[in-house]
Chains A and B, each alone.
Chain A
Amino acid sequence: METLEPILAEHPFLKGLEPRFIQLIVGCASNLRFNTGEYLFREGQEAGQFYILRHGKVAIELAAAERGVINIQTVGEGDILGWSWLIPPYSWRFDARALELTRAIALDGKCLRAKCEEDHQLGYEFLKRFSHIIAQRLEATRLQLLDLYGAHPK
């Protein structure tokens, strides 16, 4: 039976990890499918996993009473979604909704946190990789805030 191991080992996010770590991670992984409109997670829920998106598109949204639902960013094939599983209090801060049929590998956060506590080398590898993702998102958010394309008369 085909396992998720080769897919995970080749993904840029996990590439270069020692094979023993990949084997540990495979034990926490499962394949999921979300139909259009289906939520991957909702704000306030326990953040029990993160996702490696294999196909589709997901909107990261925030519901604001006076403005309705605000689509802050979309992520798609190849992207990593969710880091709240790694940071206390382990609850989602936004909604994530599939904009089209989406396939993802979910990695069990509780399972991974326990393994990271047991083996700090694995924990450090995860933190390095997630800080890169977080820095990229922060940079993108800063650019988004600049309103780069608005008219700015000289």
Chain B
Amino acid sequence: MNAPSPDPMVPVPYRVQQVWRETHDTFTLELQPTDDLPERPFIPGQFNMLYVFGAGEVPISISGNPNLHTALVHTTRAVGQVTNAMRRLKRGGMLGVRGPFGSHWPVQEAEGNDVVIVAGGIGLAPLRSALYHLLSQREKYGKIVLLYGTRSPSDILYRKELEHWRAHLDLDVQVTVDRASDDWRGNVGVVTTLIPRAPFDPLNATAMVCGPEVMMRFTAQELQRRGISSESIFVSMERNMQCAVGFCGHCQFGPKFICKDGPVFHYNEIKEWLGKREI
């Protein structure tokens, strides 16, 4: 008999299996269910609501490998009360999990195309799941390009994995930082400056973009300048999500709810609302 679907409003207890300190303010948790629960498959781009007991609940994108259903992996930046409490969790600590929720990256629609992934800062986390998927089915895609911009060399997320991916002959990885340290020999400048010379065919490419909203706006414009159609650009949005199922309205963005209709949107669906200070 199939186990009943969990109530989307009831957190399920998970135990922290492993903790990685990624940078000075970001960390990754691997979570295992405490009971013998059915697997929770997810599609890259979706998120879970993570409940730190006594502190509160926050939406966090899933950054793990979608082909491995045994554990949930989330990378988070400690920026507020809940995420700071989450950072203090150690192996064996407990969390409540609801999800997975929301829309996903168009990994199937992109088959046959070049794929351009543009990530800014912690925005690399929800895109990592998409990359795992693309690499696991590498033959289904054309060129795969990852353009990653972050604040400084010490803020580079998943550094070892990036180095590993960069060594792949079938994946083009370019990293740039806004502020270089003395020993940095890589690119300096915002991530949009990597787009004009990135190796992909704009007429046959799908772009997946995640990062601060301003970065995504300018990235979408630069991608279009390069020749990618706005219909082939997808962005992952973030707002104050609380219920995660479209009841509470906290994450309303124009006519959309980020939690239910997003977080991944066709750029065309939301471009008219981006940059509107009243939204």
Contacts and interface: CB of A to CB of B under 8 A. Distances in A.
B182 A148 contact: no
A39 B142 CA distance: 38
A73 interface: yes
Contact of B189 (A73, A78, A151): A73
A64 interface: no
B77 to A, nearest CB: 6
A154 interface: yes
Interface residues of B, number: 32
B212 interface: yes
A46 interface: no
Interface in A88-143: 99, 139-140, 143
Interface string A33-74: 000000000000000000000000101000000001111111
A77 B190 CA distance: 17
B80 A144 contact: no
Nearest to A60: B188
A149 B214 contact: no
A71 to B, nearest CB: 4
Contact of B151 (A72, A74, A147, A153): A147
A79 B218 CA distance: 19
B76 to A, nearest CB: 12
Lowest 3 CB-CB distances: which A-B pairs, in order?
A149-B121, A71-B180, A149-B151
Nearest to B194: A76
A73 B77 CA distance: 27
Contacts of B197: 76-79
Interface of B: 25, 77, 79-80, 120-122, 149-151, 155, 176, 178, 180, 182, 184-190, 192-193, 196-197, 211-212, 214-215, 218, 240
22 contacts: A57-B187, A59-B188, A68-B182, A69-B182, A70-B180, A71-B184, A71-B188, A72-B188, A73-B189, A74-B189, A76-B187, A76-B197, A77-B197, A99-B185, A140-B193, A144-B189, A144-B190, A148-B120, A148-B211, A148-B212, A148-B214, A149-B120
Interface residues of A, number: 27
Given A77-B197, A143-B214, A149-B211, 12 more contacts: A71-B184, A71-B188, A73-B188, A74-B176, A74-B189, A79-B197, A140-B189, A144-B189, A149-B120, A149-B149, A149-B212, A150-B151
Nearest to B181: A71
A52 B77 CA distance: 40
A87 interface: no
A146 interface: yes
Given A143-B214, A153-B80, A148 B178 contact: yes
B150 A149 contact: yes
Contacts of A71: 180, 184, 188
A149 B152 CA distance: 9
B184 A78 contact: no
A77 B188 CA distance: 14
Contacts of B182: 68-69
B178 A78 contact: no
Contact of A139 (B178, B188, B215, B218): B218
Nearest to A67: B182
A37 to B, nearest CB: 11
A46 to B, nearest CB: 26
B187 A148 contact: no
Contacts of A147: 151, 178
A57 B193 CA distance: 13
